[in-house]
Structure 1
């Protein structure tokens, strides 16, 4: 009996060791959802989590970026209808609608089966897993990474480069990558990169190679959309829209308050206009 108990104990230990070597089972995905986030569990395994309350955005609510709207809507329509389309990089001034425009472009085609997957920058090393998971699905997916930029020493951008263009695997036809960033080339560029020097203080002998490495990531996005700070008229137009959209009254008092608001914030943008409208309407509601 003692030998049998010892055998059972050793068998349980063997099973435990084997289980640690096996890949973790993936959680079931609710493919009926329209929006997902890529999450990483305590074990380090990633999974798709359906978003319970997606943020749908009406394209008409975005003001002063008509050229950018036309470009991303055209590209997204090409993608949804099975035609050739590009990965998109949206860069420029903060608060000017980059992230909101991505959500609005997805919203415009959500009823046609387009889905969106939000991936945090820190989880880009899992991109190959995401491609394997959704690459054979019949739906179309936008992989969305907000506020994408990399600091010195970060290596996750290499995974992104590989997925966009450069992997041994062929690009999947049901997936595009849309990213926003305040940096034009995503990686930090230093003044010394442009100096005609023999060697860097950190040992870099061929500065051109360093520059090529930093530019090559952004060049993997076929469509670049640039965003610029609002003029005062653009800002007031956005503030007017949001005040009336939220049920408030626009007049001289609202205009003066909007001007004072952006001066105290030191910026003019769609985000500042939206924040002003919420404050103004909230204070004047009965």
Structure 2
């Protein structure tokens, strides 16, 4: 009897060892009292929120040359945090110009007042109703953040997304907003033929159905904010700002903003083929780090 029991237990243990990798992992529940951000992950047919550790170092004052955009999104977000009506927001324009940084700076600014951030990828936006269900009724105010939301002309997913947005956003609880960034104003790439297929109705120009579908998706966002490529003057002002910030943090005192430093920053941007905030920050890190290293060399 003992031998049959031992054999059974051994086989059961072997079976459990094989099944264990197939069982869903125990997920950490997000404690929104202490977690300021989370990311939605798809796990087969289900999904879950994973807490994120976020840096609160970025300030609104660090975002230069986007005063109008910063003011409008900050006002909209403060209305939302205060429990007042606010709009879903689409931040569109050139890459590296501060779109996602602005959202993260607002989290740092307003986390103490209850603002929280949930990152959700474009391919997971069909899960919006499930995400909203998880946070509905909580005391915190949640911005669902989708970075780089755009579609190619041949993709049909944008029609599915439009349907989801209609249902999820127009009926969303008052503690949920969607902020998205994109390099396209209408989210879907446009073709020259789109401009040729308009029709005249009662003396007025009207787009065809395909064009209307593309425009309708971005219409789900009540606030549109545009971000443009940096001028050289704007770029250099951002470089100078970050050199000052990083030099102060690193204890680099002996430095001066001069013509040679400007020229070096411009060469850096030319070498990368773009002139934006991300490039300015990267150059500042390179330059300050180099000064510190050279200062340590006898």
Q: TM-score, normalised by structure 1?
A: 0.83
- Tell me the SS of whatever aligns to 1:178: strand
Q: Is the 8 A contact 1:146 1:181 kept in 2?
A: yes
Q: Secondary structure at the match of 2:143?
A: strand
Structure 2's unaligned 5+ residue stretches are 1-23, 200-205
Whether 1:231 aligns to 2:238 is no
Deviation at 1:159, TM superposition (A): 5.0
Residue 156 of structure 1 and its aligned partner are, at CA, apart by 4.2
The reply to whether residue 69 of structure 1 matches residue 64 of structure 2 is no
How far the C-alpha of 1:158 sits from its partner, in A, is: 4.1
Secondary structure of 1:186 counterpart: coil
Q: Structure 1: which 4+ aligned runs deviate by more than 6 Å?
A: 23-26
Q: Which residue of 2 aligns with 1:34?
A: 36
Cα–Cα, structure 1 residues 87 and 167, in superposed 2: closer, same or farther, change >3 Å? closer
Distance in 2 separating the partners of 1:160 and 1:244 = 43
Cα distance between partner residues in 1 of 2:160 and 2:128:
7
The answer to whether the 8 A contact 1:91-1:98 is kept is yes
Corresponding residue pairs, total? 260
**Offset at residue 189 of structure 1 (A):** 1.4
Cross-structure match for 1:137: 138
Query: Does the 8 A contact of 2:36 with 2:54 survive in 1?
Result: no
Check whether the contact 1:135–1:172 (CA below 8 A) recurs between aligned residues. yes
Residue 154 of structure 1: CA displacement?
A: 3.6
1:172 and 1:73, CA in 2 relative to 1: closer, same or farther beyond 3 A? same
Aligned-partner SS, 1:116: strand
Q: 1:56 to 1:113 in 2, by over 3 A?
A: farther
Alignment map for 1:193-204 (pairs within 5 Å) = 193-196=194-197
Q: Pick closer, same or farther for the CA change 1:280–1:167 going to 2, 3 Å.
A: closer
Indicate if the aligned counterparts of 1:164 and 1:171 stay in contact, CA closer than 8 A.
no
Query: For residues 132 and 159 of structure 2, what CA distance do their matches in structure 1 show?
Result: 15
Q: Secondary structure at the match of 1:111?
A: helix
Asked whether the equivalents of residues 153 and 190 of structure 2 are also in contact (C-alpha less than 8 Å), the reply is no
Q: Describe the SS at the equivalent of 1:49.
A: strand
Which shifted more, 186-195 or 222-231? 186-195
Residue 122 (structure 2) aligns with? 121
1:267 deviates by: 1.9
Superposed displacement of residue 30, structure 1? 2.3
| Aligned-residue offset at 1:164 | 3.5
Structural RMSD (CA):
2.8
Q: Which residue does the alignment assign to 2:265?
A: 258
Aligned mates of 1:208, 1:166 — CA distance in 2:
24
* CA distance in structure 2 between the partners assigned to 1:244 and 1:37 by the alignment: 33
Alignment of 1:46-85 (within 5 A): 46-54=47-55, 56-85=57-86
State how far apart, in whole Å, the 2-side matches of 1:171 and 1:126 are: 13
CA offsets per residue over residues 177-206 of structure 1, 9 Å max, x none? 0000001100121111222499xxxxxxx9
Equivalent in the alignment of 1:209: 209
CA contact (8 A) 1:246 1:277 kept: yes
| Counterpart-to-counterpart distance in 2, 1:213 and 1:24 | 40
Q: CA 1:112–1:168 in structure 2 vs 1: closer, same or farther (change >3 Å)?
A: closer
